[in-house]
Amino acid sequence: MKNVFSFKIFCIELHKIQSKLTGKESLWNSAMWPPGETMSARFIMEKLIAWLEKHLMPIANKIAKQRHLMAIRDTFMTILPPLFFGAIIAVINAGSGFESTNAFLVAWKNFATNNSLILGWLNLITMSVMSLYVCIGITYYLSKRYELNVFMPLITAVAGFVMLASYPQELGYGNALVQITYWDGKGILVAIFVAIFTVEMFKLMRDKKVGYIKMPDSVPAALSDTFASLVPTIIILTIDSIIFTICSKTAGTSLAGVVINILSPAFEVADSLPVAMLVAFLLNVGWFFGIHDAVWSGLLAPIEYGTLSINAAAKAAGTVLPHVFTVSFWCYFGIIGGLGNCLALGILCLTSKKEDIKMVGKLGIIPAFFGISEPITFGLPIMLNPILFIPCFLTSIVNVTVSYLLMSADVIGRTFAMLSYNMPSIFGSYLATGDIKAAVLIVVLILVDIVIYYPFFKAHERNCDKLMSE
């Protein structure tokens, strides 16, 4: 119903545009264009929408339903709780860098300094082992989709990840010194590879009954599953061992080390202003046609979370944060109030003299404050509404550009923590950067977003008035 309502409003908006351009009225609901009707903005837009529905929507639907991308998307949504805990620890630990005479900040610094070992360890087993969680999550969700017994693929994938993302420095009885540098965001690609490879191999060997050992019915189910998984596990871990040996002998590091060395230039390109602007544009275009931004998370999450994890590790080590474009950068600076920066639009709705629009503002302003844009997106609506769509993506482009440039120039701090998707930007920006100037920037960006939205919002109001009068 929401989509139908949105499309109705969309048609009305286009009718108004066409009427102003041509100076003549026509019936939108006509089955065919009136005889002699010339090419108009309405006709062009209709053709564009038809083309996008024919070519873009099928691609988006395929992406949304692709089992591997779905597993990746579900994983990054699921692992937020430990990352949230790690972000809190990172924020607390960041107090050690404060230089101030303020009593609260001094106490914060002393606490962080005196407990640096504990805080560092807690951060390590949360934010700094993100790739391990990713490997576990993808293995779990993909195994469930294939209706596999989850436990053995999970154990095998964890063993494979530890093997391929670590490198032993010194081994002894009861003691081991192992490099786990790539267990953070730098190892995400290896985690994805290991998880998918493991599950696909288990599925293939199950379907082909490779190494299947049939046990009598009297044998307990757990033991029967163990014997059924014995040969597949040995084959998969043997392949992992061969890969590890090749990397060790040729590059003197793990597979994760080899991958990161090869792809470092690509990560640098991904963390750039053009890419950030492109993401802002594409996600908003998708929303315009009803494609939820979660569809793209399977593609974007490895990049956004990877750069965040690297920044978190750099913060813990006291070194320069290398990346700007992270998941917290996007959530707290790029989409203030949810996709389309709906907090500014919600504020404008509260000022409207039209009761229905004001009601949308009353219902949507609190969710927008917590980063939830759907009540406003569907209530006005923004979706399939060309008038409000323009400021929708313009505000995202402006917010991303301004924030990226200021962070790149080190005017404000870069992000190293992700508290929650629903953390209000004014708080999340400060906690994610440890820089009060970030919160000030959010206030400024909200004001800028209001200015950008204002003329389009007023045009939308007038069109609603004309609709009611007709």
Alpha helices in 146-272 (DSSP H): 151-165, 188-207, 221-251, 255-270
Distances (CA, A) of 239 to 73, 205, 209, 246, 389: 27, 14, 19, 11, 51
Residues of the chain above pLDDT 70, percent: 74
* Average pLDDT score over residue span 73-101: 72
If asked whether residues 256 and 289 sit together in one domain, one would say no
pLDDT for residue 460: 77
Distance from C-alpha of 15 to C-alpha of 412, rounded to nearest angstrom: 45
Within-domain flag for 258 = yes
Distance CA 467, CA 460 (A): 10
Which residue segment(s) compose the domain that 109 sits in?
68-262
Q: Which two tokens mark 7?
A: 């499309």
| pLDDT higher than threshold 60 for residue 29 | no
**415 and 333 within one domain:** yes
At residue 304, the pLDDT reads 79
The answer as to whether 57 is a domain residue is no
- State both tokens at 380: 């006005």
User: Quick one: 399 and 329 in the same domain?
Assistant: yes
Residues 223 and 289 in one domain: no
**Same structural domain, 183 and 277:** no
Calpha distance 439→68 (Å, rounded): 37
Tokens representing residue 14 in the block: 């286009």
pLDDT of 41 > 60? The answer is no
Most confident of 86-100, 174-188, 333-347: 333-347
More confident residue, 151 or 220: 151
Token pair for residue 407? 């962070």
pLDDT at position 93 over 60: yes
From 66-75, 245-254, 280-289, the region with the lowest mean pLDDT: 280-289
298 lies in the same domain as 203 = no
Average pLDDT over residues 431-442: 91
Of residues 26 and 283, more confidently modeled: 283
Residue 424 domain flag: yes
- Among the three residues 234, 262, 290, which one is the final residue of a domain in this structure? 262
pLDDT at 201: 94
User: Can you read off the two tokens belonging to residue 164?
Assistant: 């391929």
CB 6, CB 381: distance < 8 Å: yes
In a domain, 415, yes or no: yes
Give me the number of domains the chain comprises: 2
Q: Taking residues 388-392, what's their average pLDDT?
A: 83
Instruction: Specify which residues 311 forms β-bridges with.
Output: none
Average pLDDT, the chain: 78
251 and 330 part of one domain: no
pLDDT of residue 104: 77
Give the residue with greater pLDDT, 30 vs 304. Answer: 304
Same domain, 449 and 340: yes
Average pLDDT over residues 436-462: 90
Mean pLDDT of 69-95: 77
Q: What's the pLDDT score for residue 81?
A: 80
Q: Which of 262, 279, 306 is the last residue of a domain?
A: 262
* The pLDDT of residue 7 is above 60: no
Q: CB-based burial of residue 171 (10 Å sphere; 0-12 exposed, 13-18 middle, 19+ buried)? A: exposed
- Whether residue 33 is contained in a domain is answered as no
- Give the Å distances, CA to CA, from 393 to 123, 163, 462: 36, 44, 21
- pLDDT at position 15 is 44
Q: Which positions ≥6 away from 251 have C-beta within 8 Å?
A: 257, 258, 261
* pLDDT number for residue 67: 86
Specify the range with the lowest mean pLDDT, choosing from 90-99, 348-357, 437-446: 90-99
Q: What is the DSSP letter of 30?
A: -
pLDDT(20) > 60: no
Q: Identify the weakest region by mean pLDDT among 72-86, 192-206, 416-430.
A: 72-86
Q: Bigger pLDDT: 325 or 271?
A: 325
199 belongs to a structural domain: yes
Backbone angles phi, psi at 11, to 5 degrees: -60, -40
Residue 335 belongs to some domain of the structure: yes
Continuous H helices in 271-385: 273-288, 297-317, 327-329, 342-350, 355-369, 374-379
pLDDT for position 96: 55
pTM of the model: 0.62
Question: CA separation (Å) from 304 to 185, 188, 203, 332, 350?
Answer: 9, 11, 30, 13, 34
pLDDT greater at residue 213 or residue 57: 213
Dihedral pair phi/psi, residue 340, rounded to 5°: 90, 5
196 and 343 both lie in a single domain: no
**pLDDT band of 47, cuts 50, 70, 90:** low
Are 296 and 443 found together in one domain? yes
CA 325, CA 305: separation in Å to the nearest integer?
A: 10
Q: Are residues 235 and 362 in the same domain?
A: no
Whether 465 is covered by a domain: the verdict is: yes
Over residues 95-146, the pLDDT tens digits come to: 655 555 667 778 887 888 888 888 888 878 887 788 899 899 999 999 999 9
Residues 141 and 251 in one domain: yes
Q: Which of 262, 291, 320 is the last residue of a domain?
A: 262
With tokens 């750069």, the residue in question is 307
Rounded to whole angstroms, how far apart are CA atoms 164 and 410?
36
Contact between 164 and 254 (Cβ < 8 Å) = yes
d(CA 345, CA 348): 5
